[in-house]
Amino acid sequence: MERKQGFFASLREEVVRGLSPSRSRANSPRRTGSPMSGLLRRKKQSGHNFAANPDSALIGRSGSMRVLGETLTPLMEGPDPDGFQNGDPKGVGSGLGQWMRGQFSRAPSTTSSSYKRSDLRLLLGVMGAPLAPVHVSASDPLPHLSIKDTPIETSSAQYILQQFTAASGGQKLQNSIKNAYAMGKVRMVASEFVTATRVVKNRNASTCAESGGFVLWQMNPDMWYVELAVGGNKVHAGCNGKLVWRHTPWLGAHTAKGPVRPLRRALQGLDPRTTASMFAAAKCIGEKKIHGEDCFILKLCADPQTLKARSEGPAEIIRHVLFGYFSQKTGLLVHIEDSHLTRIQSNGGEAVYWETTINSFLDDYRPVEGIMIAHSGHSAVTLFRFGETAMGHSKTRMEEAWTIEEVAFNVPGLSVDCFIPPADLKTGSLSEACELPQDEKGKNSVAVHKVKFSAPEKSHTDSTAWKMEV
């Protein structure tokens, strides 16, 4: 090119040419375009090395946008068979973009011969793109703080949310945000498996952990798209404001049961306005110390109508509760915990209960254009299976750590076309219970209504097994 383009100009072109999922997915259900493409691929002549000089990254960890004299090229999903891209020899590129490209193209990890595919499927299925308990809209104003004729638990929660909004940058600044983008790195590992007869712990977590990255786009009103690549597998999900869809390699593309709900990953310190809206109907139930810091506890429960809408066939969502721990010192959200209980009973057999609990700790809050964003954190997920017999009880523990590398607000050129569902989206929907592990004999497996949905691949998960020391 005669002259080098700035970031925004290049991004605008990529949004028009390649960011829309509807443009790329219509031609090939296996090759999906993504909003990540315009930001992850950079040419060799830029000369930036992220590992050696993190301050020279496309967007700083503080989230400030920088103009780079480099053009952006489409993301190629999968390895380059010829070893060249746009004339550059394979392997000579550098920077965060090439690292992210490697997460998409590399083969599944073979660090441990017994680290089965089912383990990674379980990690991605449960931790990849979980949703919040209830429907909320970031455009809804927070309830007016009222003390008269209001229970103390409700008025206290409203006051805590007012403090949280002020500490996060203020309502006026947050209302000026029309869209947002974030990209980060993740590490996932299955750390423990407990049955009635034994306890198996992963003592090689550093070698068994799967590394990857994610990108998240959001746009008002109530639109979002997330893409997560870990261990050679990719999960992506999105919402166009009217329906939530999800795509996994083992279930294909399908809509999610229940009402439109925000992405839980966005509540982990990336979207304070949606977080405040989520807890608008919560109650203050007390105080607790989190890592030595005094916090207020807000509790939110999904209503029976929402739970019924999310249930399907033999899988019934019994409850879903969300707890938010807000620091009394800073006013920011430092810990979020949600737990939902699912009851599964098929063909008149024994009822099996699955309790999924996700605990997330948010750290390293820093301002991005005036908005406080948590730049790191970690989650611990527990899957507890129980039924009538104690011998059938089991508990699986998984962990995830993440860091936020890039954040930007009001990205020019981003449009509703970037949130169109994929062309190969099947009719009907699937409950989140379909991501739970199944028994080897299929005795208590989750049944999917074939009349409404036919998955492109047979959903089957082997017994959880890792290379561990007992």
Tokens matching residue 43: 């040419």
Number of Cβ within a 10 Å radius of residue 62: 12
User: Above 60 in pLDDT, residue 7?
Assistant: no
User: Above 60 in pLDDT, residue 444?
Assistant: no
Tens digits of residue pLDDT in 325-360: 999 999 999 999 999 999 998 777 788 999 999 999
Contact 299, 321 (CB under 8 A): yes
What average pLDDT does the structure give for the chain? 75
Contact 254, 453 (CB under 8 A): yes
pTM of the full structure: 0.73
Euclidean distance between CA atoms 180 and 183, whole angstroms:
11
Residue 324 has, within 13 A of its CA and on its CB side, a CA count of 30
Question: What is the pairing mode between strands 371-386 and 352-368?
Answer: antiparallel
The whole-number pLDDT of residue 175 equals 92
The whole-number pLDDT of residue 14 equals 54
User: Above 50 in pLDDT, residue 383?
Assistant: yes
Nearest to 224 by CA among 253, 246, 257: 246
User: Above 50 in pLDDT, residue 287?
Assistant: yes
For residues 34 and 454, the model is more confident at: 34
Question: What is the pairing mode between strands 394-409 and 371-386?
Answer: antiparallel
User: In which band, very low, low, confident or very high, does the pLDDT at 423 lie, cut at 50, 70 and 90?
Assistant: confident
E strand or H helix at 265, and its extent? helix 264-267
Euclidean distance between CA atoms 6 and 59, whole angstroms:
12
Nearest to 234 by CA among 248, 215, 216, 250: 248
At 253, is the secondary structure helix, strand, or coil?
A: strand
Residue type, 62: S
E strand or H helix at 373, and its extent? strand 371-386
Place of tokens 């049961």: 257
CA angle 80, 127, 169 (to 5 degrees): 100
Question: Residues 6 or more apart from 48 whose CB is under 8 A from it?
Answer: 42, 56, 57, 68, 94, 95
Question: What is the pairing mode between strands 352-368 and 333-344?
Answer: antiparallel
Question: What is the pairing mode between strands 199-201 and 179-195?
Answer: antiparallel
| Domain locations along the chain | 7-76+89-105, 119-435
The whole-number pLDDT of residue 88 equals 39
Contact 295, 335 (CB under 8 A): yes
Euclidean distance between CA atoms 142 and 165, whole angstroms:
10
Tokens matching residue 225: 């798209």
**Max avg pLDDT among 21-30, 71-80, 104-113, 425-434:** 425-434
Euclidean distance between CA atoms 90 and 71, whole angstroms:
18
Q: Which of 101-110, 217-226, 255-264 has the lowest mean pLDDT?
A: 101-110
User: Above 80 in pLDDT, residue 281?
Assistant: yes
